[in-house]
Structure 1
Amino acid sequence: MIKFPDNFLWGAAASAPQTEGHSSSDGKSPTTWDEWFKLNPEKFNDGQGPQNTSNVYEMYKEDVANMPKVGMNSYRTSISWARLLPDGKNLNEEAVSFYRYYFQTMLDNNIEPIINLFHFDMPWWLMEKGGWENCDSVEAFAFYAKTAFEQFGDLVKTWSTFNEPLVHIECGYLYQFHYPAIVDFKKAVQVGYHTLMAHVCAVREFRNSNIDGKIGIILNVLPAYSRSDSEEDLKAKEAADLLNTYSFLDPTVLGVIPTKLVELLRDNNLTPDIQSTDKELIAQNTVDYIGLNYYQPRRVKAPSNSQHPAKMPSDLYESYDWPDKKINPYRGWEIYPEALYDVAIMMRDQYHNIPWFVSENGMGVADEQRFKGKDGMIDDQYRIDFMKEHLEYLHKGIEAGSNCFGYHVWTYVDCWSWLNGYRNRYGLFSVDLENHYKRTMKKSGLWFKELADNNGF
């Protein structure tokens, strides 16, 4: 039997914009998602916008009561910036009450709340000023973080600043999957830098608050895998690692931006605007832990037709389609659990073996109702197999000395997923959108309970 360390965190992850609903009520102001859906509803799967999602705002008590039924001892979700501070300055007392009740209900059910501050949901009032392109966003976020710590620091002991900051950078400024859906490598780098400094200043506020707890960041990072060991392919791998992995891991854990990344950006006329005090701030405000989200590997090769200076990341590295891959056909994502071992060793050897956990890992599948049995339960054995395979390699990394303290599946109840809406489902519980958001446990929920009860499998 594979056994995990004592006090291991077994849980799930979600976010405010993907689960809460009530996106235009109870004092909340619009986010980029609310406005984008108004402007371009045709971009969203089946017309499914951010208004109601999974209605956790009304159903959180039921959801939290169900968490022990699938063995969860922890849960990560986020606070909505636009709900807590609708204009960026003044507190929404309705939001304070909601989140305090929500977090207290978790504690009452022996669920540790792990609370994230930003999950792709930029407030519209700030987007109108340029969003993360505007350097004022750094202190605006720091003020929001300070407010959250003041309001909930007595309940929440584990915080994170951002979930997958690379996603809002890439999707908003390179690949058009998030608002403002523009393509501009230079702006993407500036947005990334302001995001990093917003994180750093939020950590500074946490340290100044003297809250009893810890703070980290949730990153989607993994070592890139090159097509071959040729000089060209290895150069592409290095560029991919610098931009996608070391760009946030090095400054948040080690307190420095990699010299090679600075050189790469300078060589391609991509150097962002910086402040003279930034280097010292980065060095002084490193994290207590790291959350790592893992779904698929990054396979790269030398670009076939690049230009210099680079106009897109594809001028530095291209995606490589590995012919032996195993695929999840619903997302088009490769399934490669071996990467979790490589990530564990990377954290052990390159990042001082800092405490870390798998903050997301999961499998999205469409039309899951096909697998519903006579008892009404969805038989998602494919999800159980997916988790088992990944946990085997994670356990191997822990046995090799990597300091991993938990595993969170994405997600707990089926959630809304940006432009994809509810096309693919990830939950341990299904959500029936046509029947008052009724929750029904899937087979994977039963297995997860057994996993957590045994602290292994």
Structure 2
Amino acid sequence: MTEKAFTFPKDFKWGSAVWAQGTEGAFDEDQKSKTVFEEYALQNPSRMQQGIGPFHTLDWYNRYEDYISYMEELHLNSFRTSISWARLMPDGRNVNQKAVDYYTSMFKNMAQKNMDVWVVLYWFDMPLHFEKQGGFSNRDIIPLFKDYVSVCFELFSEYVDIWFVYNEPAVDIMLKYFNDRCYPNEINFNKAYQSMYNMVVAHAEVVKEFKRLNIDSCKIGSVLDIKPVYPRSFHEKDVEAAEIFSLLHDKSWLSSFIHGVFPEELKEFLRGLNALPRMEKHDEALLKENTIQVLGINHYFPVRVQAKQHLRNPEAPLQPESFFDYYDMPGRKMNKYRGWEMYPKAIYDVLIDIRDHYNNIECYITENGIGVQNEERFKNKEGVIQDDYRIDYVRDYLEQCYYAIQEGCQLKGYHMWSFIDLWSPTNQFLNRYGFVEFHPETRETRIKKSGHWFKDVIDQNGFKKRNSD
């Protein structure tokens, strides 16, 4: 037996993440207004696993210092979280000083513990009163969003190392306008892609504002969930199906944010469906002049597709899946709890694609992880969850990250999802992802075996994997 060392570059960023809606709780404290998820949970309580809505969660708003102590214990040198627009500016216009005090204290606390602070400005949680006006499908929301982020820049940039405008904007649209997983519970293809386009324009406005304020102490980017898409075969129709998926899901955002170009092929595709978004003349120059400095990559699984096997019902509402079918490749290794394929090489393929087609932009893995149900059954006699499956998962994906770095990819850090078990928009607390256990019934918190392993990885700036000769 021999040991192979995987040593990462100097100053590599090791950390993890949470999001405001999934952790803060205190949904009705200190004038906070309602979000789309809170409204959805109130309207559809039976669709919440174990009846748990996003109302109290981890009570991070009042207990953040306790959680930061775990970050310090794990030696994290970076951390990503988000600001709730509905908390900071409950009416969308006036700043809530209680929220300012909370975010300032939290960010300052992390920075003082030598952690880089990465902050997402919009993470699915549209204030309800704005979604009732159409959300991002209404272009009038863009200046209001710009005002909000400008407040964030001016209040908190002293403590922030990277601002991420969005987290997974494609998922935001999917949850609201395709999957019936969030208020307003619509299936509306045209509205979805109008929202998508307006989010692209809003993103450029935010970058423009960041540049106007001449903030040189931090960088600006966005986080995209990127899935390499593999066609079932080399048949032209399978390949075409893969190209359509990539265009609708990944290329549209990557091209807009990195190259500053809303793809012409997407315009043509949407025009053919009578779904071309409304655009304004100055948008093209705005996008071109306001691109990102860094890219966050969320990656969990690849997508495998094939040509449509059956004709689409012309009476049915359009969805992305109207143009391809998912392909269940025989022999895939699956996370049976989440229904997601585990294919570590996919993260390598993502990074190589960014290197070759998107300027080899400075990037970070901002999410990657495995959700498992009923983890309590894996506790040892001391009560520590023995999540060796999580260690194996993270190690396998980190190996592929290492190989990509060796081939010239500008990958500068890795964050596992998630720091602690938290509330998810799709399955609440059913699948647990954290390095730290949080039990929603007992409120118990304890570092899992994987957390202790990750601490050693950070301390060594890498790890060793035992391989057979």
TM-score by length of 2: 0.95
Is the contact made by 2:227 and 2:301 (CA closer than 8 Å) also made in structure 1?
A: no
Q: What residue in structure 2 maps to residue 263 of structure 1? A: 268
Q: Does 1:321 align with 2:328?
A: yes
2:12 pairs with one of 3, 8, 15 = 8
Distance 2:330 2:262 in 1: 35
The partner residue of 2:304 within 299, 322, 331 is 299
Alpha-carbon RMSD:
1.3
Aligned counterparts, 1:25-36, within 5 A: 25-36=29-40
Matched, 1:224 2:233: no
Q: What residue number does 1:311 align with?
A: 318
* 1:283 aligned residue: 288
Q: Is the contact between residue 365 and residue 415 of structure 2 (CA under 8 Å) also seen in structure 1?
A: yes
For residue 194 of structure 1, the aligned residue among 198, 204, 224 is 198
The amino acid that maps onto 1:282 is L
The correspondence for 1:415, drawn from 400, 403, 422, is 422
Q: CA deviation at 1:200?
A: 1.3
More displaced 10-residue stretch of structure 1: 392-401 or 62-71:
62-71
Match of 1:445 among 443, 451, 454: 451
The 3-state SS of whatever aligns with 1:260 is helix
Q: How far 1:432 sits from its partner (Å)?
A: 2.5
Q: Note the 1:130-169 alignment, pairs <5 A.
A: 130-169=134-173
**Contact 1:203-1:215 within 8 A present in 2 as well:** yes
Distance 2:163 2:311 in 1: 41
**C-alpha deviation, 1:307, in angstroms:** 4.4
Which one-letter code corresponds to 2:452 in the other structure? L
Give runs of aligned pairs for residues 4-83 of structure 1, distance below 5 A: 4-83=8-87
Instruction: Give the superposition deviation at 1:15.
Output: 0.5
CA contact (8 A) 1:21 1:50 kept: yes
Q: Deviations over 1:411-456 (max 9, x none)?
A: 1111011241111110101013233x33200000010001111111
Check whether the contact 1:37–1:44 (CA below 8 A) recurs between aligned residues: yes
Partners of 1:382 and 1:136 lie apart in 2 by 47
Q: Which residue in the other structure is 2:466 paired with?
A: none
- The separation in 1 between residues aligned to 2:450 and 2:312, in whole angstroms, is 47
**CA–CA distance in 2 between the matches of 1:388 and 1:232?**
36
Judge which range, 38-47 or 393-402, deviates more: 38-47
Q: Secondary structure at the match of 1:425?
A: coil
- 2:107–2:160: 8 Å Cα contact kept in structure 1? yes
Question: Counterpart in 1 of 2:183?
Answer: 179
How far is the alpha carbon of 1:54 from its aligned partner? 1.1
The residue number in structure 2 matching 1:383 is 390
- Please tell me the residue identity of whatever aligns with 1:255: G
Specify the SS of the correspondent of 1:95.
helix
Give 1:236's aligned residue: 241
- Which secondary structure state, in structure 1, belongs to the residue aligned with residue 7 of structure 2? coil
Hey, what's the Cα distance between the residues in 1 that align with 2:40 and 2:262? 34
Write the distance in 2 (CA, Å) between the matches of 1:164 and 1:221.
9
Deviations along 1:289-317, one digit per CA (max 9) or x if unpaired, are 10000011111111122449892212222
Aligned partners of 1:96, 1:411: CA distance in 2, in Å? 25
Using the alignment, how far apart are the partners of 2:331 and 2:440 within structure 1? 38
CA distance, structure 1, for counterparts of residue 337 and residue 176 of structure 2 = 23
Q: Which residue of 1 aligns with 2:467?
A: none
Q: Could you tell me which of 400, 403, 411 is aligned with 1:404? A: 411
Q: Aligned equivalents of 2:350 and 2:429: distance in 1?
A: 30
Q: Is this contact kept in 2: 1:137–1:194, CA < 8 A?
A: no
Q: Confirm or deny that 1:253 pairs with 2:258.
A: yes
Question: What one-letter code is carried by the residue in structure 1 that aligns with 2:249?
Answer: N
Say which SS state the counterpart of residue 77 (structure 1) adopts.
strand
**Per-residue deviation, 1:68:** 2.6
The count of aligned residue pairs is 456
Which residue in the other structure is 2:91 paired with? 87
Q: Is the 8 A contact 1:362 1:426 kept in 2?
A: yes
Shift of 1:288: 0.3
Paired amino acid for 2:281: S
Counterpart for residue 108 of structure 2:
104
Select between 19-28 and 308-317 the one with higher mean Cα deviation.
308-317
Per the TM alignment, residue 397 of structure 1 is displaced from its structure 2 partner at its CA by 0.7
Q: Equivalences for 1:419-438 in 2 at 5 Å?
A: 419-435=426-442, 437-438=443-444
Please tell me the residue identity of whatever aligns with 2:455: K
Identity %: 41
Distance 1:109 1:179 in 2: 38
Q: Aligned partners of 1:399 and 1:110: how far apart in 2?
A: 27
- Deviation string 1:81-115 (CA, Å, 9 cap, x unpaired) is 00000001000000000000000000111111100
Asked if the contact 1:306/1:315 (under 8 Å) is kept, the reply is no
Per-residue deviation, 1:194:
1.3
- Call closer, same or farther: CA 1:250–1:144 in 2, change over 3 Å: same
Question: Are the counterparts in 1 of residues 429 and 440 from structure 2 also a CA contact under 8 Å?
Answer: no
What is the alpha-carbon distance in structure 1 between the residues aligned to residue 278 and residue 78 of structure 2? 39
Could you give the per-residue CA deviations for residues 145-203 of structure 1, whole angstroms, max 9, x where no partner exists?
A: 10100111111121000100000111211121222121111111111111111211111
SS in 2 for 1:166: helix
Residue 121 of structure 2 aligns to a residue whose secondary structure is strand
Unpaired runs of 5+ residues, structure 1, are: none
Structure 1-normalised TM-score?
0.98
Which of the residues 119, 122, 126 maps onto 1:118?
122
Amino acid at match of 2:389: Y
Q: Which residue of 2 aligns with 1:456?
A: 462
Contact 1:224 1:299 in 2 (8 A): yes
